[in-house]
Structure 1
Amino acid sequence: MDENLAALITLVLAGGPPAPRHSLVRHPRGAAAALAAGLPLWTQAGCTPAQLTALTQPEPTAFTRAWHWLQQPGHALLHLDDPRLPQTLRELPDPPFALFVDGDPGALWKPSIAVVGSRSPTPSGRALASEFSLAFARHGLAVVSGLAAGIDAAAHRAMLGCGGDTLAVIGTGPDRAYPDHHVALQAEVAACGAVVSEYPPGTPARAGQFPARNRLVAGLALLTLVVEAAWRSGALITARLAAEAGREVCAIPGSVRNPRARGCHRLIREGAALVETPEEVLSLVAPSLSRALPGLKSALEVPIQELPAATLPPAMATDADYQRLWNALDHDPIPMDSLIMRCGLTASGLSSMLLAMELAGIVVCEHGRYCRNPGFPTSTAS
């Protein structure tokens, strides 16, 4: 048995304030040694009486359930210090102690937009969620949402249908689906991206867990888009939390006769950006993407042999991966799968680089195919 993983599970199940638990995980000799040290060290770390009781007498059924879940392929438990968790989550005012991940942890690094809204949208709202999500996929962005009925499900399904990347943050244990009929959808998202939860396996749906879930949806995304929302809506909580975390928030306006548009109108009055097209959203997310690109690239880059320099912006001209991508591009549009074969780069890394080059005016995307921008001045690279 991996003793440090077992200790991390025990600390997750202990609940309560995260600071004492972080202190134990970060013990110089590891979490297992910290738990083996017993009450004196736990008390010194600041554990509450409830945490001391939970660490002294762990609940065996919950531990066994979590341990068995984590032994299955594609399942992981990541502490906040784990390098597989993106910086965007660490920057939250209330970051998670740890996350259970079903799927690829690398998907959490994908530049993403949160698409959220009503659980009972109008047909138009559902169509807009799909339309905007498809546009984001064409530009190499992932979509993150909460796997709820309505707008969330429409966004996830649109991304799955086009082969895009999608992430789901759920308010139950990672082995539960809510609503129940989303079992198959949740499995698809896990197979193609990732499903994440800060609640241990077996945790049922409880009302208070969903607002907490919303902060992680907002935290993973560079921007939150609200499609339809009533005056009082969980989507508005996500938008507020995104704004508090310093992220861009935008909303699609609707008819004054549509009660599901009132929340969007409220957000716009309070300062959210009014958007009518996916292109307006992409314009808003560009500055955030530019700031996130260095950390993203560091997490995804694959070392390759240096290539001859090209006339590109300084940040790209000195990067071998960008040089390889530039040399693989042509003046005629090329599909993504052909670029992957030409470059030998990962699909996630390539998508992020293409988006950065497109936003810089270097690359043009036409119907999901990429080519050099004829108006971009080059010399040796042309």
Structure 2
Amino acid sequence: MEHAELGAWLRLTLSRGVGNDAARRLLARFGLPQDIFTQSPAALREVVTPAQADALAQVPEGWAALLERTAHWLAQAEGDGAMRGLVALGDPRYPRLLLETADPPLLLYAVGAARWLQPDCRDFGVRCGLAIVGSRNPTPQGERHAHDFAQAFAAAGLTVVSGLALGVDGAAHAGALAGAADGVPATLAVVGTGPDRIYPARHRELAHRIAAHGLIVSEYPLGTPPLAANFPKRNRLIAGLSQGTLVVEAALASGSLITARLAAEQGREVFAIPGSIQAPQSRGCHALIRQGAKLVESAQDVLEELRLPAAPAPVADAPAAPPEHPLLAAMGYDPVGLDALVARTGIATADLQVQLLELELAGAVARLPGGLFQRVGVA
């Protein structure tokens, strides 16, 4: 993108009171963004309100500094060699799925593998996205589900879309990276900050891995901090970049349910994994299922609904799984207390605690607050 064109795009996005809808009307009427700023006030008022026309006549505060900062940022490479890009409406790389939504952003800042950001690339190389969202504080079982479902989807050739948040989002990105197929980005992280900010900070290493094998995308200009209002807004992009949205765990009042609602409004599929009736993290999923979301028990359920090929089957001569520990069978998949396990198994408390510790060290059981334990694995 030429310097003058970049400046015009940034000025349009920074003009006070001129949102995406008004900007799209201006672009439809006048063409390129630099042509908007050559129009007379009277011509602008035929398309937008007088207040918006007046705002367009003023150079936004901080525009020149942001222009230089953005140009410099685009010219540099990430430390791991990932490429930086800025994709505007009308660019061949602009995601087709987003164009089908009610509020596509004017600009998308992207950091990722160079093959997905080349000028001749279409839709970032994303042919089919599947969003995975859920609680920032999932149960161990929910976190495992997010990872394993994402790994299966990525192996089947889907790009897993999520928001880089703690909990389910992070597990989904990590799972997708573990199962990445050739020819498509493994995962796409839609962030609620500027593309030069990693939030939360503890996901810095994960973000570098995503940039190397997928994409990090933002609609917010450089330097935008993690403002609370931006995260619900970015959820429309998570839903919009995906053919379907899978909710793993979610409370009744959560951003994940916002994403699911937006997906439904956009005519996309909504899936939900059921959980324990005792767990608050399951109530949002159960509410979605009551409202018509598709109940999911395996990755294959989603792939069949989207009419996509199944994930690769395990190798035929793979070693047989070891027999299940009897205590795991007694636990089931809901959180359970020590007294209940004693009653179910008849094992003495001291021996039961030893077995639970062994299973915990083996990664088969997780210890939860309140003296509860939960089996970890795919049901």
Q: TM-score when scaled to structure 2?
A: 0.72
Aligned residue among 230, 250, 259 for 1:238? 259
CA distance in 2, matches of 1:138, 1:368: 14
For residues 129-159 of structure 1, give each alpha carbon's deviation from its aligned partner in whole angstroms, at most 9, with x where no partner exists: 1111111122111100011000000010112
Provide the residue aligned with 1:171 in structure 2: 192
CA RMSD of aligned residues (A): 2.4
Where do residues 140-159 of structure 1 align in structure 2 (5 Å cutoff)?
A: 140-159=157-176
Does residue 46 (structure 1) correspond to residue 63 (structure 2)? The answer is no
Structure 1 segments, 4+ long, off by >6 Å, are none
Q: Tell me if the contact between 1:133 and 1:158 (Cα under 8 Å) persists in the aligned partners.
A: yes
- Count of paired positions: 295
SS in 2 for 1:46: coil
- 1:82 alignment partner AA: D
Greater mean deviation of Cα atoms: 67-76 or 92-101:
67-76
Matches within 5 A, 1:30-69: 30-37=32-39, 39-46=41-48, 49=51, 52-53=54-55, 55-58=57-60, 59=62, 60-69=64-73
Give the Cα separation in 2 of the matches to 1:29 and 1:271: 42
- Taking a change above 3 Å as real, the CA distance of residues 25 and 230 of structure 1, as seen in their structure-2 partners, is same
The one of 85, 93, 105 equivalent to 2:94 is 85
Identity among equivalent pairs (%)? 44
Q: 1:41 to 1:68 in 2, by over 3 A?
A: farther
Map of 1:5 onto structure 2: 6
Q: How does 1:179-190 map to 2 (within 5 A)?
A: 179-190=200-211
Change (3 A) 1:51 1:153: farther
Decide whether the 8 Å contact of 1:65 with 1:202 is kept in 2. Answer: no
* Kept after mapping to 2: 8 A contact 1:168/1:195: yes
Structure 2 counterpart of 1:204, from 199, 202, 225: 225
Aligned-partner SS, 2:48: coil
Paired residue type of 2:314: H
From the superposition, tell whether residues 98 and 55 of structure 1 become closer, same or farther in structure 2 (CA, over 3 Å): farther
Change in CA separation of 1:29 and 1:124 when aligned onto 2, cut-off 3 Å: closer
Higher helix share: 1
Q: Is the 8 A contact 1:75 1:102 kept in 2?
A: yes
1:149 aligned counterpart, secondary structure: coil
How do residues 1-382 of structure 1 correspond to structure 2 at under 5 angstroms?
A: 2-14=3-15, 16-26=18-28, 30-37=32-39, 39-46=41-48, 49=51, 52-53=54-55, 55-58=57-60, 59=62, 60-73=64-77, 74-103=83-112, 104-105=116-117, 106-107=123-124, 109-164=126-181, 165-286=186-307, 358=309, 365-367=312-314
Contact 1:107 1:167 in 2 (8 A): no
TM-score (norm 1): 0.71
Q: Distance in 2 between matches of 1:187 and 1:256?
A: 37
Maintained 8 Å contact 1:116/1:152: yes
- One-letter code of the match for 2:210? V
Give deviations 1:331-358, integer Å, cap 9, x for gaps.
xxxxxxxxxxxxxxxxxxxxxxxx5xx4
Counterpart residue type for residue 144 of structure 1: V
Secondary structure at the aligned position of 1:249 is classed as: strand
Structure 2 Cα separation of the partners of residues 48 and 177 of structure 1:
38
Cα distance change, pair 228–100 in 1 and its aligned pair in 2 (3 A): same
CA shift in 2, pair 1:97/1:234, >3 Å: same
**Per-residue Cα deviation, 1:315-344 (whole angstroms, up to 9, x for no partner):** xxxxxxxxxxxxxxxxxxxxxxxxxxxxxx
Q: Which amino acid aligns with 1:118?
A: S
Q: Indicate the structure (1 or 2) with the bigger Cα radius of gyration.
A: 2
State the alpha-carbon separation in 2 of the partners of residues 118 and 209 from structure 1: 18
**Following the alignment from structure 1 to structure 2, what is the Cα–Cα distance between the partners of residues 175 and 255?**
39
